[in-house]
Amino acid sequence: MERQSQFDLNTGDKRYIKGSIRQRIFHNNETYYFVLKVAVKESDLANSDDEMVVVGTFPVLSDEEVYIFWGAVREHPKYGKQFIAEFYRKDLPRTEEGMILYLSSDLFSGIGKKTAEKVIHTLGVDAFLKIMEDPASLEKVPDLTEDRAKTIHKTLMEHQGLEQLLSTLNQYGIGPSTAIKIYQEYQDEALSTIQTNPYQLIYDIDGIGFQRADEIGRALGIERSSSERIQAGLLFTLKEICMQHGHTYLPVEELIKETKSLLFHNTYDEEIDFYSEIVGLHQGGNVYIDEEDAYLPSLFFSENGLIKSIGQRLKHNEYEKIELSDFYTAIGGLEEQQEMEYADAQKEAIYKALTSSIMILTGGPGTGKTTVIKGIIEVYSEIHGVSLEPKDYEDGEFPFLLIAPTGRAAKRMSESTGIPAVTIHRLLGWKGGNGFEHNEDHPIKGRLLIIDEMSMVDLWLAYRLFQALPNEIQIILVGDEDQLPSVGPGQVLKDFISSDAIPIVRLEEIYRQAKGSTVIQLAHEMKDGNVPDDISKPQHDRRFFPCTQSQVTEAVLQVCRSALTKGYTAKDIQVLAPMYRGKAGIDELNLKLQEMFNPPHDQRREIQHYETTYRVGDKVLQLVNSPEDQIFNGDIGEIVSIIHAKETVDKEDQVVISYDPVEVTFTKSDLNQITHAYCCSIHKSQGSEFPIVVLPIVKGYYRMLKRNLIYTAVTRSKEFLILCGELDALNIAVRQTEVGSRNSKLSAKLTEVVLLKDNVPYSEG
């Protein structure tokens, strides 16, 4: 089937106006959103005015040009009649004479009238579209030099290409913001790239998935069995399944099976050699094949790079040794000073941490992990004669590095130890799309590194961290192996533990200060697959309120109202749920909880962002990392101010959010980076503790009723845990041991490192 050109605009039933810009009433330089006053020259509107307000996204505008805008008229309740433009295009000359004049204008440097005539007479009235689609069409023009051909194509693309691209992509439901990403990626080649292989968009452009690219491909006449479509389907399937399920690889047979389902819904008769297509992806550097398994290259090299780093650390112990007698002297002095006594398991953990290049400390809630962390720092300071005061190191590097995956976990770590702690991203000097400041060529400086909440660290981040650490630094990994694995691919802590490659101490005893907590006791029973017989009996720090799925939302609201009457605030109360959709989902609960915690008020400013209303005083959750503002995915803040557009210099609505201790100003277009946090997902709560946790649990969450998910939620409670819902649902979750194992070779390869390290040097690959 011959591929069709999609660059002739199909406007459908959209109305249009043609005119020139008379006034720019408002614009946003970041989003290209404009409000324009346009002098109308032509229109197909029933009652067209001589002048209209046009609203839309216009990345390229010139006051000297005439534009055609397609869209519809609406009556704005405040601003009156407006034309909402969905797409637009500069009004190109349509006659030969007009096209020759345009091409020989000052816009096209070095192109005179005679050259322009040759181009138009050779290529016809569709010359401009032909050139933008295929610059090689200029080779047909007699005596046209290569330099002049490049000038014509480049100038047309600069002045018409983005508008043409916007018009083309609009037909496939691709909005201006994504179209701009495409243009920025490919520049002059944007249209030809889409025409030649729209599936390339999947690899290069965030926000373009297989279905969207396939829709363009079908419109262009790309065959169902074409190599570019098959390879795109394979790569998309590999990415999607790894991201959704946390796998680091897929067996090739499974990849082919899932791709067949995507491409042909398991009904096809084409003779397709999927193995050859996978080899093609491997040769192109898009997929890495390891034995019978397919990896995304970044995951393969992260896995093997991490193994190499661990292997080197297990072989080289380049740190200052300590004698057992010195250790007992230091630990005894610390116990005397703090008027406490470490348990044998805690002493073992502290000693092993100080005498190992790398060590794992794991245990459930109340088992004393924080006590051990503090002990490690204090004893290290005493034995090695180093100060714990950062101010004593104004001319040098502070030897202790305390880090965690999230800002809240780092803050909690700092409060419990008295030592500054930061996020992993901040320690590495994350620069957004430009990667990390620290790497193997520019390592971090320090002597002792402690990583808390290690279960949250995915394979990519673990590799980047270990890559940036010097060989001589001692590393302690702290985490609860029974909590949820990382959101990103891999199960790093679990694999480290199961490999038996790294020294490990498990803390299992619940210590005196935690024994009075029935929440901690509940967590440990759940970890062992049990729900206590007294779960329905009120305890001093937990309750279970039985209710049906239709009643659970009101039960949650009633619990929160009761907490408010007792002096607690929205900051103290955290509702956690496992799913976003449904009547008991996060989205619906946030709507109801906002009404209760922060209802509308004449004196309380608010702003609308699509279907969501944000008010001053709202509790919000950060959804993306923003290292330049020192805020990260999962941070919880409060809206402290809303500034309306008419009150700002840039004429844009602004929302100021306090993420203790920083305040960040968001424009309205940035509000997709936040959501309400009265209720948040259990995944987003990891690394945090809250005075009161309210946990709805009903059979409607069936797909998410997993032991490690509910265990993680329960262990977020610091003072009170309130369970609302169905006892059967809780029992189902606690009995559910099949938590969806992840494909990972990290454990097996680390075990191999241990077997080989004394005899054979370990090398990557």
- pLDDT tens digit string along 134-187? 889 999 999 899 989 988 888 877 666 666 677 677 666 676 667 777 877 887
Q: How many whole angstroms separate alpha carbon 507 and alpha carbon 742? A: 25
- pLDDT tens digit string along 697-733? 999 888 888 999 999 999 999 999 999 999 999 999 9
- Say if pTM beats, i.e. exceeds, 0.95: no
Average pLDDT over residues 315-329: 83
Q: How many whole angstroms separate alpha carbon 680 and alpha carbon 702? A: 18
**Over 378-421, what HEC string results?**
HHHHHHHCCCCCHHHHCCCCCCEEEEECCHHHHHHHHHHHCCCE
Q: Compute the mean pLDDT over every residue in the chain, rounded to the nearest whole number.
A: 87
**Over 278-340, what HEC string results?**
HHHHHHCCCCEEECCEEECHHHHHHHHHHHHHHHHHHHCCCCCCCCHHHHHHHHHHHHHHHCC
**pLDDT value at 126 more than 90:** no
Handedness of CA 581, 583, 589, 593 (dihedral sign): positive
Q: What is the pLDDT of residue 765?
A: 37
Q: What is the pLDDT of residue 640?
A: 95
Cα 315 to Cα 473, 727, 759: the distances in Å are 13, 51, 11
- pLDDT tens digit string along 428-457? 998 776 789 999 999 999 999 999 999 999
Least confident of 320-334, 568-582, 735-749: 735-749
- pLDDT tens digit string along 530-564? 999 999 999 999 999 999 999 999 999 999 999 99
Q: Are 457 and 486 in contact (CB under 8 A)?
A: yes
Average pLDDT over residues 488-507: 94
**pLDDT value at 3 more than 50:** no
As given in the structure block, the two tokens for residue 98 are 């007009």
Cα 763 to Cα 305, 312, 317, 652, 757: the distances in Å are 10, 9, 18, 55, 10
φ, ψ of residue 725 in degrees (nearest 5): 145, -140
Residues whose CB is less than 8 angstroms from the CB of residue 642 and which lie 6 or more positions away in sequence, other chains included: 605, 606, 607, 614, 615, 616, 653, 654, 655, 656
Write the single-letter amino acid at 481.
E
**pLDDT value at 7 more than 50:** no
Q: What is the pLDDT of residue 653?
A: 84
SS3 576: strand
**Over 622-645, what HEC string results?**
ECCCEHHHCECCCCEEEEEEEECH
Average pLDDT over residues 668-690: 91
Helix (H) or strand (E) holding 233: helix 227-245
